[in-house]
Structure 1
Amino acid sequence: MTGASPSEQVALYGPDGRPTGEAADRARVRRDNLRHAATHVVVRNSDGLVYVHRRTATKDLYPGLYDFTAGGVLQAGEDPLLSATREVEEELGVSGARLVPLFEADYADDRARFHAYCFVCLWDGPIRWQPAEVAWGQWVTPARLLEMLDELEFMPDAVANMRPWLESLRQR
């Protein structure tokens, strides 16, 4: 989220992938690695390309890594689709695109634990980066993106949750 405040209230999620009804401020969620929810949105164009970008060095989680999803943390009481729509607009300037739900997944490492709501959208308009979040970006084929995943350091959550889906694109 653009300019995310450390005091922003984040919905906490249980191991069943559902909200617990509790919330904590973003700073505590990060510090204590509390289980929450987040979104992944893959942006594709009508040529079948996927938008890849590099996170800025100032991001609070995985700064400077490459990513092929836009997304972020669900705020307390926020609907996953609305969160995903907000995040893809804030990060990449994708506004008015229809987000299609793909699946839900879970991710955990020593820095983040969350239930993911995964979406894809079709976008042929301009990409307008949020300068505080995106340092670089370009359209690539799914095959090239799969090569890039082995060559560059990408967001581990996006790779873990979305790689099987991305590999399925190569089969089509």
Structure 2
Amino acid sequence: MEEIVALYAEGDLSGRVVGSAPRSRVRAENLPHCATQVLLRDTAGRVYVHRRTDTKDVYPGMHDAWAGGVVAAGEDPDEAAEREVTEELGVRGCRVRPCFRYWYADADTNYLACVYEAEYAPDRHGPVVHQASEVAEGWWMSWEELTARLSDPDWPFVPDGRAGLERYTRYLEQHPAPRD
């Protein structure tokens, strides 16, 4: 059975749902929807970076630092964020904190990005275990290493992920204190 995705009012940061459609139609027509982006950071501040599988429907085989995905019809973005970090990376019990929202649109996707961060500790949250259909491989990178790699336009990194990390960098500048 095909996933039914919530459709959102384009450009509306409040997250107003205006309908629903099958995922295939959302992709084919580039309909405005909502998706979560969760940045998994360990207690040393490193970021979990992964390479998407070659079978992903958007940006296959590219690198990404966000665990996330579309918000299903009837699903709350906060719940979707927790679900996605557990599904994609296998970690359980991480506190997922909302950061900000923004609209992202290009020729492949058009969505309200609900951005979150989660702090990971292996002794509390278990090992990182990839969802085989979504994550081909992954590793930890320091924030400095990640931002240096992102300065290389030839590094195959998802464009929405680049946009999200640029905004997240500005967010960190405005919220430097720990948010716990």
TM-score (structure 2 length as normaliser):
0.87
Query: 2-side partners of 1:102 and 1:170: how far apart?
Result: 13
- What is the 5 A alignment of 1:36-115? 36-115=33-112
Residue of 152, 161, 165 corresponding to 2:164:
161
Q: Letter of the aligned partner of 2:164 in structure 1? A: N
What is the aligned partner in structure 2 of residue 140 from structure 1?
A: 141
How far apart are 1:34 and its partner, in Å?
0.1
Offset at residue 63 of structure 1 (A): 0.2
- For the 8 Å contact 2:36–2:81, the answer to whether it is kept is yes
Deviation at 1:72, TM superposition (A): 0.1
5+ long unaligned stretches in structure 2: none
**Is contact 2:99-2:115 (8 Å) kept?**
yes
Q: Distance in 1 between matches of 2:139 and 2:65?
A: 10
Q: CA deviation at 1:170?
A: 8.4
- CA RMSD of the aligned region, Å? 1.7
Large movers: runs of 4+ above 4 Å: 167-172
Question: CA shift at 1:19, angstroms?
Answer: 2.8
Choose the corresponding residue for 2:21, options 19, 24, 32.
24
Query: What is the letter of the counterpart of residue 165 of structure 1?
Result: Y
Deviation of residue 148 (structure 1)? 1.5
How far residue 21 of structure 1 moved from its aligned partner, in angstroms, is 3.2
CA distance in 1 between partners of 2:102 and 2:173 (Å): 21
- The one of 96, 110, 117 equivalent to 1:120 is 117
Aligned residues: 167
Q: Distance in 1 between matches of 2:171 and 2:145?
A: 14
Counterpart CA distance in 2 for 1:59 and 1:87 is 15
* The one of 8, 20, 25 aligned to 1:13: 8
| Distance of 2:18 and 2:171 partners within structure 1 | 35
Secondary structure of 1:23's partner? Answer: strand
- TM-score normalised according to structure 1 size: 0.91
For residues 58 and 138 of structure 1, the distance between their equivalents in structure 2, rounded to whole angstroms, comes to 20
Residue 118 of structure 2 aligns to a residue whose secondary structure is strand
* CA–CA separation in structure 1 for the residues paired with 2:173 and 2:113: 23
